[in-house]
Structure 1
């Protein structure tokens, strides 16, 4: 019905062409939303883009706008099914924001380093490991006194 990016038939045809294997379809069904959710957790670490003064004030960052983009995209494709997908996007955003707040910044960055080998600058991970070892040695020394 639509053209280009908002052509629902084109999206379904593309999906059908590349996801005809039943195992592939199951993997897609079970892992797309968890990947989306995980992405939102990592994107929650980005700096605020907009401050909303309502309800005591809160900041919106890339995580919110990423979820909003997909919510609007799904609604644009199909008003009814897209509304359900948009609701899932926003629920993922609320849940990921909550989990990111519980994990804290340093644990989430540790996740990034562990999974992707991310370093803010060369030698960062090696320097942190050295400091961890020094802290452990100091803790052990205090523990044995």
Structure 2
């Protein structure tokens, strides 16, 4: 039996420890914010936080999530919207929107460790998240805006 904590709630899983965390979140818990993109951890659409670190859930096995704290977009902020989510809406970042959850989760983890990022630091931190619509300039602007709001 695998025990883990998802968005502050204790969960258990009595299935295949090789199953990707993404499928557990989406198919078993019904947390559909994280998306399946490439399936090999390269696009970032499936990004969640595990113990505060941005992690690709499509390549994270359930066995590797045991006894860990998992945060999805649904649990990113307990009392409303996270500053990154607010900035995303203010700057009007999404175009098609498919990658945006992964982008937001990557940005939120990045801003925990870098409160005043340069454009170059943002580009480096976000380089593993692909946006097929090319909204990278708006993503960068939203991260700069969110950084102003994060204590």
Note whether the superposition's TM-score is higher than 0.5.
no
From the two aligned structures, give the one with the greater helix fraction. 1
Larger radius of gyration: 1
TM-score relative to the length of structure 2: 0.27
